[in-house]
Amino acid sequence: MKSKAFIIAVVFVCLLLAGGGIYLFTSRNKTEETVSPASQEQKLPQPSAAPKLLTWNDPAGFTFQYDPELKIDNHPQDKVNYANLEITEAGKEGKVLIMAADTKYKSVSEWAAKAIDATLGGKPAKRIVTAGSDKVVVGTIDDKILFTIEMDPAGVTTWQKRFDQIISSYEFVYPTSAPGKSSPSTSGSSEGDIVEEEEIIE
C-alpha cells in the first residue's frame, strides 16, 4: 500500500517538473520573439524627408533652386543691372550675390584669363577664388551680358552647400529683360561646379 502511494507521489512530482519545464521553455521563446531583430527594425524611426527647395525665376533670363531658409533681396531700386540678387540667411553672417550686367568683355577667358574653367547654366564659365579670402566667384558671358554668382561665406561653413546648390541648379531661360524692369517671382520645387585664383573682376 505504501509502495503504491510512493509511486503515485513520484509520478505526481515528475508531472510537476515536466509542466514547469514546458512553461519555462514557452515563456523563453516568447521573450526571444519580443526582442527579435525584425521587431527592433520596425521600431526604428523613419528618416525625415529633405526640405523642399524653392525655385527663383528671374526676368534677367535665368532660374535656380535654393533652400527655403534663405532670403532673397532683388534690389528693385537698381535700374542699371539686369539682375542684382543678395541671398542671406537670418541670424547668420555671409551671403551670395548674383549679378547680371552689360560687359565689354567678349568671352569669359578675356574676363578672367587666369581663373579655373567651370560651367554655369551649361555655358563655359570661369571660377575665381580671391587670394587670402574664402570668397568665390563663378561667371559666364552670354549675349554681351556678364552673369556672376559670388559667395562671401564670412566663415560660415554652410554657405558652401548653399552655393553649390545654386550653381548646379542654375539654368538660362530667355528672353532677358532690360535692366530695371519687372521683379522676379518665387515658386516651390527641388544641385555644381567649383574653385581657385586671385582677383575679383567686375
Confirm whether 26 is domain-assigned: yes
* Terminal-residue alpha carbon distance, the chain: 117
Same domain, 81 and 165: yes
Same domain, 26 and 123: no
Same domain, 12 and 65: no
DSSP state of 67: -
Same domain, 38 and 81: no
Same domain, 36 and 74: no
Same domain, 77 and 158: yes
Long-range pairs, 196-199, Cβ under 8 A, ≥24: 196/115, 196/116, 196/127, 196/128, 196/129, 197/112, 197/114, 197/115, 197/116, 197/127, 197/128, 197/129, 197/131, 198/114, 198/128, 198/129, 198/130, 198/131, 199/112, 199/114, 199/128, 199/130, 199/131
Confirm whether 17 is domain-assigned: yes
Question: Domain limits at 30?
Answer: 2-43
Same domain, 91 and 116: yes
pLDDT at 1: 57
Same domain, 111 and 135: yes
Cβ pair 73, 85 in contact under 8 A: yes
Same domain, 100 and 166: yes
Q: Domains in the chain: how many in total?
A: 2
Same domain, 127 and 99: yes
Confirm whether 202 is domain-assigned: no
Rounded to 5 degrees, what are φ and ψ at 98? -120, 125
Task: Report the chain (202 residues): mean pLDDT per 10 consecutive residues.
Answer: 60 60 59 50 60 92 96 95 97 96 94 92 93 90 95 94 96 78 42 34 39
